Amino acid sequence: MPTILANGQVFIDGKLQRTDIAFDQKIQAIGKNLLGEPVDCLGKIILPGAIDVHVHFRDFNQSHKEDWQSGSHAAVRGGVTTVFDMPNNDPPATTVERLQEKRRKADASLVNGKIYGGLSAENVDQIAEIAKVVDAFKLYLGDTTGHMIISDRALQKEIVHRVAETGKVLAVHAQRGGIAPEEITAHEAKDLQYAIELSSQFKAKLHLAHVTTRAGVETILDAKRRGLDVSFETCPQYLFFTTEERSKRGAFMKVNPPVATAADRDFLWEALRAGKIDMIATDHAPHTIEEKNLGMEKAPSGLPGVEFVLPLLLDSVNAGGTSLEQLVKVCCARPAQRFGFPKGKISAGLDADLVVIDMNLRKTITRSEIASKCGWSPYETMTLQGWPVMTFVQGQLRFRS
């Protein structure tokens, strides 16, 4: 018998509607007087499950930081029902065999696990075969955790050409690394422009990761006006933190690319309200407290975030910083559209990935309640209004507060 989410307000076609939803693995019907097992959602709103297209669930030799079980538990607590995991694991996810093993781990998690295929000098000839077992590809033009950077320009072209032939989305880390944080953010627009021009030569479906600055966003918007096939994401850390927090919090605010200026942060919020941001992804990159305590020079880059992206944005909706419509676009609809999955909106026949929200619930983020295995969050001590209270993944109740 189907489950019925009853008496709530459901986000459908850009607005909240007072109606009910019947579902098993798929959404069966939307309306009143539906047959099934009712779950009372009076006073709550119901959204599509969030889709995070940029996480690092570690696993393999780094499972002490995170694995698919702990990472997916954090995700569903935060209303995230689908994640795309990056390939810079230890060892890197660049072979068919390793990617198949990763797929098995993802399929056993609490969420819909999608995976990126890593690109390297050693697997260029296998790109067509790898495409059969991955959901998208990831190319590193800038250095990052795992040292998967591709610097040879001829090799970059060959890789982009071969990925374009598969029809898969090519996500690119374009921003350079290894220099002072202020220089990285100053050069972001130039780095993004290079990736845009490279992909346009072969008509690749380009997705640009973790865009940080006003100049970077404006570069991408210009490419869109020229008709180029490009999408991009920004991340919560760039909406909520600036260089001021980095100077205060040291390695616990060390992230690649680094947080930018207050002016850049304010522009990102303006762009979000104006509908110019394609997606918000977390770049959930958990490292242990012990590793972060090594200090700014030695600590690895990365911040955990999958658990709190939706509460952070729901709090902003409550405060008038953005709208519920924009939240659903950047966290649900556009990621699903770009990567080609039957998710991201509430409609009969689509996957029953649903999150029930209490917009009045206020909670403070405390370390003791964090689900991520890394055990800390840059958002600790923040009090937010608007939290998931139930999360369903393909019709299965995966979290209830």
Percent of the chain with pLDDT over 70: 99
Residues 6+ apart with CB under 8 A from 33: none
The CB density around residue 246, as the number of other CB atoms within 10 Å, is 19
Q: What are the C-alpha distances in Å from 355 to residues 6, 77, 268, 381?
A: 13, 10, 26, 24
Task: Give the per-residue pLDDT at 109.
Answer: 97
Q: Which of 257, 256, 189 is nearest to 223 (CA)?
A: 189
Phi then psi for residue 281, to 5 deg, are -125, 160
Is 395 within the bounds of a domain? Answer: no
Q: Give yes or no: 85 in active site.
A: no
Is 6 within the bounds of a domain? Answer: no
Strand partners, 381: none
Is 81 within the bounds of a domain? Answer: yes
Upstream peptide bond of 91 is cis (omega within 30 degrees of 0): yes
Is 362 within the bounds of a domain? Answer: no
Distance of CA 196 to the CA centre of its chain: 21
Q: What is the CATH number of the domain that holds 270?
A: 3.20.20.140
Please check whether residue 314 is in contact with residue 45, taking contact to mean a CB–CB distance below 8 angstroms.
no
**Tokens coding 385:** 């209004």
Residue 271 has pLDDT above 90, yes or no: yes
Mean pLDDT throughout 94-114? 97
Instruction: Note the pLDDT tens digit of each residue in 140-161.
Output: 998 776 678 999 999 999 999 9
Instruction: Note the pLDDT tens digit of each residue in 122-145.
Output: 999 999 999 999 999 999 998 776
Task: Give the per-residue pLDDT at 146.
Answer: 65
Enter the DSSP assignment of 253: G
The CB density around residue 319, as the number of other CB atoms within 10 Å, is 11
Exposed, middle or buried: residue 149 (CB in 10 Å: 0-12, 13-18, 19+)? middle
Is 111 within the bounds of a domain? Answer: yes
Predicted model pTM: 0.97
Instruction: Note the pLDDT tens digit of each residue in 191-214.
Output: 999 999 999 999 999 999 999 999
Is 62 within the bounds of a domain? Answer: yes
What is the rounded CA–CA span in Å between residue 236 and residue 239? 5
**Tokens coding 297:** 């020079």
Instruction: Provide the phi-psi class of 340: left if phi over 0, else alpha when psi is between -120 and 50, else beta.
Output: left
Mean pLDDT throughout 66-85? 98
Query: Average pLDDT over the chain, rounded to whole?
Result: 96
C-alpha torsion sign, points 225, 13, 205, 214: positive
Q: What are the C-alpha distances in Å from 192 to residues 96, 153, 260, 315, 389?
A: 29, 15, 16, 31, 38
Task: Give the per-residue pLDDT at 181.
Answer: 87
Q: How confident is the model at residue 179 (pLDDT cuts 50, 70, 90)?
A: confident
**Tokens coding 32:** 């009143």
Residue 67: which H helix or E strand, with range? Answer: none
Enter the DSSP assignment of 61: G
Residue 178 has pLDDT above 80, yes or no: no
b/e per residue 152-173 (b: at least 16 CB within 10 A): eeeebebbbbbbbebebbbbbb
For residue 154, the SS3 value is helix
Instruction: Tell me the residue range of the domain where 158 lies.
Output: 51-339
Q: Which entry of 52, 143, 283, 353 is annotated as an active-site residue?
A: 283
Residue 180 has pLDDT above 90, yes or no: no
Is 267 within the bounds of a domain? Answer: yes
Task: Give the per-residue pLDDT at 371.
Answer: 97
Percent of the chain with pLDDT over 90: 96
- How big is the chain, counted in residues? 401
Structural domains counted in the chain: 1
**Dihedral, CA atoms, 369, 371, 372, 374, nearest 10 degrees?**
40
User: For the chain, what is the radius of gyration of the CA atoms?
Assistant: 20
Is 374 within the bounds of a domain? Answer: no
Q: What are the C-alpha distances in Å from 304 to residues 92, 330, 386?
A: 20, 19, 20
